[in-house]
Amino acid sequence: MYVNIEVYKNSGLEFSDLIFLAGIKQTETEWLIETLPDSVYQRFVEQGLVIHIKSRKKDDHAYKSLRLSEKGKKLISELEEAPIEEQDKTVGEWLCKYYLDAGKEIGNKKKTFRHIRDFRIKSGVEKNNLIKLCVDFLKENEDKSNKLEFIFFHPKNIFEVKFELDGSWLYQYYLKNKERLDNTFEEY
């Protein structure tokens, strides 16, 4: 499980809050009834991190209808996401310039930078090696490379929004040419 420490430090949460918020997200109501202290619940309510859905039974415990609010969902999402590092921005800016010079589309720049970060983390290919891999891929795959955003991750359908390395054309290309590419990569 990844926790973005910067987001955690700025959130004002305690360590145990992360587990309780995960339990609320997963609707582990029986566990919450047994373990969630009223003081923590009250703090979550005051911070606007939780809401109650309409309960089916009037005599149900309050935690059975407890869910994350939009603010709580956003916080959990931010906690789970790694920051975009300077090297991701450098690679992204270089590739954007390369694409624009070639007369191609970039797509959603923010999403592209997140895809670069996710690709780097999950594949282990980074810095200049990632640029070398991209340039090599682009030379051989003109038909797939009209939009920069999609070479890192191309969803199979509109519901697929989370980055999956297996859905990356670039990663599939890397696997096919791994031995040759690894021989050209620099050590970092």
Residues 120-131 pLDDT 10s: 999 999 989 999
Say which residue, 1 or 65, is predicted with more confidence.
Answer: 65
pLDDT value of residue 188: 57
Any bridge partners for residue 68, and if so which?
50
CATH 1.10.10 residue ranges of the chain are 5-80
User: Structure tokens of 18?
Assistant: 């992360």
Residues of the chain with pLDDT > 70, as a percent, come to: 98
pLDDT value of residue 27: 94
**Could you tell me which residues come within 8 angstroms of residue 120 by beta carbon, excluding any fewer than 6 positions away?**
87, 88, 91, 126, 130
Roughly what angle, to the nearest 10 degrees, separates helices 86-101 and 127-140? 30
CB 155 within 8 A of CB 122: no
- Please give the Cα distance from 15 to 3 (Å, whole number): 11
Mean pLDDT of 46-51: 97
Going by the DSSP 8-state scheme, the letter that residue 147 receives in this structure is: B
Mean pLDDT of 46-60: 87
In terms of CATH architecture, what is 5-80? Answer: Orthogonal Bundle (1.10)
- Please give the Cα distance from 109 to 93 (Å, whole number): 9
Model pTM greater than 0.85?
no
Q: How confident is the model at residue 22 (pLDDT cuts 50, 70, 90)?
A: very high
